[in-house]
Amino acid sequence: MRALQAVRAKPGDLPTIGKSPTGIRGLDEITQGGLPQGRPTLLCGSAGCGKTLFGMTFLYNGAVEYGEPGVFLAFEEQPQELIKNVGSLNYDIGRLVAEKKLAIDHVEIERSKIAEAGEYDLEGLFIRLGFAIDSIGAKRVVVDTIETLFSGLENEQLLRSELRRLFEWLKAKGVTAVITGERGEGTLTRYGLEEYVADCVILLDNRVHDQLSTRRLRIVKYRGSAHGTNEYPFIIDEQGITVMPITSSGLAHEASTERVSSGIADLDQMLEGKGYYKGSSILVSGMAGSGKSTIAAHFADAVCGSGQRCIYFATEESPRQVIRNMRSIGIDLQRWIDKKLMRFSARRPSLFGLESHLATMYRDVSEYDPAAVVIDPMSALLGAGASGDVHAMVLRLVDFLKARGITALFTNLGVVAGDNAATEIQISSLMDVWLLLYNRESNGEHNRQLYLLKSRGMAHSNQVREFILSSEGIRLREAYLGPEGVLTGSARLAQEAKDRAAMLVREQEAERRSRELERKRREIAAQIEILQAQLASEEAETALTNREGVAREDQLAADRVAMGVSRQTGARPDKPAAKPTNKPKKRLDSI
């Protein structure tokens, strides 16, 4: 193994085949650059697959976009018919012919006008084709359709040999050639030879399932180049051919931390106050009338209001109907259409098959390059295919949008329950955010509720919120818990009235108690004031009594002294009066 790795050349060291870009959106991606340059490519399929248009588109884009003149050799249609047929695609073939950038040559091979005799070959065809190539310096050639030679000539063995020589001759001329052929029974072509001598074989198919037609393309082989091997849907419309080059973009897309508003402030609050992650996929499920389209319109309005573009894929309502309906809730989508910030793409699911719907969405998104996409409702696509096919389509669409960093909102019609939530097409696991909308019946009325079932990568509310549709849009109400759970509508209003009455009674009782307490406070204060006055009066009376007692005692003491002096004077008149002493007198109250 190491020896093999040692001798293996590095990428780019060895010669590889050149590529001629077709200019067909999607096909060059599948072929990794285009058709093999200077080699023949067989384009086969049944009638109505678009072989002639593929060939003419290859030449037109080569002359206009890549400066490579081309030759169209037709065995069935006249030049003027070809010019008119592709005029609906805005291909000005007449101008290219006049400018010597394109040559159209018609070779008529009609069995009734040809007589075969002896041996012959197709050298005359080679000379005619070579002259056309040399006259304009052609780099590209289309031969349409090779089966005409077999139907016009009988010698099939000779034709097989000459066809092999034609392929080798074209390769020797160094032109990139496309040869168209009719598909056979069990073989790629009717005569089973061309696919073996061609370097690249592309099979076109136009199948009908449940009355719906879908065109598909598959690269059967491509010598010298890697290529996509799956079947790819393609559409043909007024803008030409568009191939849907993805089956799944894988899981290598970026995960942005940037936030996108839902357009509903209350819903953003349930999503950490910031909204959805940019590039995420949001599913809004609910029964009819629950408000799915209204939530989608809020989101689209918020995206356009931020200056970014949005595509609204409508599968049930016309754009004018959607615009009119949203005006009733205060959302004017027409102003964003006028400012080129919004585009409607409205198609019934029964218009064509799922793959064609997918290819159309892919083309519209690639052209418009929006920041957000709305599909409303996605469940309507069940009318274009089985649930498994719709699941596969949505998976591819989600991967495609995530790879481009586009935020997508899908609405889905269905009756779901939070404890056993699922969608009919089983795509809920693909979604990053899932909103469930309920239309609850209680007390003779329906009330709308919203539940955020999941939101990957962020904390989110787990409350069931009632929401109101008004002339100002959607407004979510705070969850209101009653005795029997969350209440909505008139039951909520009745319970709120009861709660307000009970609160009023409590407030009135509190006020009554406050008044009673204040009255008691005033009474007690008055009583305290009276007691304090009584106490002060008693204190004053006591002090007065004490002073009067002291005065009486002093008077009694003085009287005793006087009485004593008087007695002594009467008994001894000649004895002098006693000398006063400093010894304190005894008070009566101390005896």
Nearest to 141 by CA among 166, 106, 177: 177
Helix (H) or strand (E) run with residue 397 in it? helix 387-403
User: Directed axis angle between helix 156-173 and helix 123-136, to 10°?
Assistant: 20
- Active-site position among 76, 195, 317, 553: 76
Kindly list the distances between the CA atom of residue 6 and the CA atoms of 3, 12, 14, 15, in Å, as whole numbers in the listed order. Answer: 5, 16, 15, 19
Kindly list the distances between the CA atom of residue 580 and the CA atoms of 18, 172, 568, 573, 574, in Å, as whole numbers in the listed order. Answer: 154, 169, 14, 18, 18
Residues 6 or more apart from 66 whose CB is under 8 A from it?
Answer: 20, 21, 23
3-state secondary structure of 41: strand
DSSP state of 73: E
Burial environment of residue 164 by CB neighbours within 10 A (0 to 12, 13 to 18, 19 or more): middle
Task: Show the tokens assigned to 132.
Answer: 């056309």
Q: 175 and 314 in contact (C-beta within 8 Å)? A: no
- Distance CA(62)–CA(125), nearest Å, equals 24
Task: Label residues 222-253 b or e (16+ Cβ within 10 Å = b).
Answer: beebeebeebbbbbbeeebbbbbbbeebeeeb
- Distance CA(421)–CA(418), nearest Å, equals 5
Q: Does the annotation mark 231 as catalytic?
A: no
Nearest to 396 by CA among 381, 383, 376: 381
Q: 32 and 226 in contact (C-beta within 8 Å)? A: yes
Task: Label residues 297-335 b or e (16+ Cβ within 10 Å = b).
Answer: bbbbbbbbeeeebbbbbbbbbebeebbeebeebebebee
Q: Does the annotation mark 317 as catalytic?
A: no
- Active-site position among 29, 77, 195, 316: 316
Nearest to 151 by CA among 184, 128, 118: 184
Q: Residue holding tokens 């759970």?
A: 485
- Distance CA(333)–CA(108), nearest Å, equals 57
**Residues that are catalytic:** 76, 316
